[in-house]
Every structure is written in C-alpha cells, then in structure tokens.
Amino acid sequence: MKRLEEFPRVSLGVFPTPIRRLDRISKLLHTNVYVKRDDLTGLGLGGNKTRKLEFLLADARAQGAQVVFTTGGAQSNHAMLTAAAAGRLGMRAILLLKKRGVTDCRGNLLLEKLMGTDVRLIDTDDYNEIYAEMDRVGRALGVPYYKIPCGGSNALGSLGYVACAREIHEQGQAFDYIVCAEGSGGTMAGLALGAKLYLPGTRVCGMMVDRAPFDEITPALMRGAAALLEAEVTIGPEDYLLRDACGPGYAVPSPEGNEAIACLAANEGIFLDPTYTGKAFAGLLAMAREGAFRPEDKVLFLHSGGAAGIFAAAL
C-alpha cells in the first residue's frame, strides 16, 4: 500500500483539529459524545473541503493549471473554499454554480464577493452540462485549467478524509462510532475507508442530507480511493452505515435540524449549519433516542463546518 505522504499535497489547513468531549450533551444522551472540530480547519471560515483541496489543488498545480473550476449549489461551501484556497496558491478560481437556492449576496456568495471571485450562476440542474461549460470556458481562456467536481468528491479528494481517519488514530482515542454529514460523499467515503485502514472497531455513519444513491456512491468512492492507495481491501456494505437525515430536501432547513442547532449552540457554544451539520447532528440525536448507543460507547461527531450557511438560512 502507498503511504499518504507519497501523494502531492499543498498545506492549506491547521491540523490536527481538536477533539473534545461534549459533557453536557453526553449527559443528556446517556452516552459519550465527542466532537472533531473540522469547522476549525483554518482556511476561510473552516470546514471539511480544506482537507480534500490539499490533495486536489496539489494535483492541479502539478498539472500546471492556472485556472481552477468547480461547481455546486449557489451557497456551496466547497466552491467558496476552493476560491479561497486557489487565491492563496496564486491560481484563479471560476465557480459555475447552480442558480437554485439563495442567490442574493449573503453567506458564501458574500464571501466570494469579498474575495473578488469569478462566480457565474448557471440555470441548470444538470452537472454534466456544467462540466461541459467548464471545458468551453477553459478552452476559450487558452490557459491550462483543472476541473474539480461538485464537493471535491472524487477518489483523490476523498484521500483528505482517509488522512483525517489516520489523524483521529494518532490523536490516541478509540471511538465506537464516527458520525458525519454526507452530501456529495467524499467525506464519508474517506472516513469509512480510513476507519477500515486505521481505526479497527470504529463504525462510520453517514447522515444523508441529499437524495442521491449513496449506497452506490459511497462504496464507489471508497474503492476509488483504495485503488489510488493500492490498498488491498474489499469494500462491502458492512463497511459503512447510512441514514436518511435529509428532511424536506437538500438545503431546506428541517425542524429536527433546527432543534439540533439550538441544542448544540445552547449547551456547548458550537454552531452548526442548517444544510449539513445541523441535520447530521439531528440524526445522531435520533439514534441516541432510539437506543443505538450504549452508555459506555464513544461517539465522535465530525463538525464539517458550513458557518457561512447560517447567514444565508431562513431558519
């Protein structure tokens, strides 16, 4: 198996991110809940995409790219962090974002305005059309360009969360569960593969905040990342847990998510976002209420960021 150090990587974040026991939440839920603060990754307002971008933008740089394209919803945290990271590396970011969702100048669009990012709102729901548009724009510019998929979720980006699993191992505590939001899949897939490699005994549960075939996406990304690493593992359904946490729809706030946001804000002074982490934490609360965790279990919640989304939400 290859070592993670053999892959080109740019330094964008501050790692390791802290792990802390949530004492008041643990008491409320009669189990041991911990948080890993990937909302404090140190670029922009923090968030999970920084770990993926360390690998993706190193690849872009190795290929001589001057322009980096990516896409997502109008309030994509991933797109904003890609622009922030590209700026730091002296590359130009062009964001082709879907027009649906909050498109007035709030949240991530406001941060992109502050950075002077080239943002183009595209009136389609089909990512293939957007990737084709990237090629049209890139060819017209006539400079080397690099395309990053929605959420940075390809095999290479997922290595960021394989590295996170190794980081958790190095932080010296063992967990029975890791719970994270699953939006485009790379975070969950990286953690689930990383757990298989570095965290035996830890089950990773992806809280699905979008309606997509994650039972196909998750193992496909895990296999892709394992292939890059030349890791000899077989991936099966026993390697990951998935749970619906979408509520009324992707990026539409849910009552359960809002309750989870209020719970963590009031009891721990930690702010979750309405699109991803609020719904993911609501899923954790629901599992606890259903008796999924024993009193002696240790459950690690990945806070994957999303702060800007709070300021674009209609809560």
- By annotation, the residues acting in catalysis are 76
When asked if residue 306 is in the footprint of ligand PLP (CB under 6 A), the reply is yes
End-to-end CA distance of the chain: 46
Handedness of CA 64, 226, 35, 183 (dihedral sign): positive
User: Applying CB under 6 A, which of residues 13, 149, 183, 219 lies at the interface with ligand PLP?
Assistant: 183
Question: Cα 186 to the chain's mean position, in Å?
Answer: 7
Min separation Cβ 291 and ligand PLP, Å: 26
Of 103-111, 182-190, 262-270, 287-295: span binding ligand PLP (CB under 6 A): 182-190
CA 315 – CA 107 distance, rounded (Å): 14
Q: What's the chain's Rg over C-alpha atoms?
A: 18
Using the minimum distance from each CB to ligand PLP, give the nearer residue, 91 or 188.
188
Q: Is 207 helix (H, G, I), strand (E, B) or coil?
A: strand
When asked if residue 194 is in the footprint of ligand PLP (CB under 6 A), the reply is no
CA 243 – CA 221 distance, rounded (Å): 18
CA 12 – CA 113 distance, rounded (Å): 21
When asked if residue 276 is in the footprint of ligand PLP (CB under 6 A), the reply is yes
Residues 121 to 180: which contact ligand PLP by CB under 6 A? 151, 153
Binding-residue pattern over the window 24 to 53 for ligand PLP, x denoting contact by CB under 6 A: -----------------------xx-----
When asked if residue 304 is in the footprint of ligand PLP (CB under 6 A), the reply is yes
- 30 with 299: CB under 8 angstroms? no
When asked if residue 54 is in the footprint of ligand PLP (CB under 6 A), the reply is no
Tokens representing residue 206 in the block: 């992806």
* Inter-helix orientation angle 214-228/155-170, to 10°: 80
When asked if residue 258 is in the footprint of ligand PLP (CB under 6 A), the reply is no
User: Applying CB under 6 A, which of residues 186, 247, 253, 278 lies at the interface with ligand PLP?
Assistant: 186
Tell the burial category of 214 from Cβ atoms under 10 Å away from its Cβ (0-12, 13-18, 19+). buried
Q: Which amino acid is located at 267 in the chain?
A: N
Using the minimum distance from each CB to ligand PLP, give the nearer residue, 194 or 305.
305
Using the minimum distance from each CB to ligand PLP, give the nearer residue, 31 or 75.
75
When asked if residue 71 is in the footprint of ligand PLP (CB under 6 A), the reply is no
Name the site residues for ligand PLP (rule: CB under 6 A): 47-48, 77-78, 151, 153, 181-188, 273, 276-277, 304-306
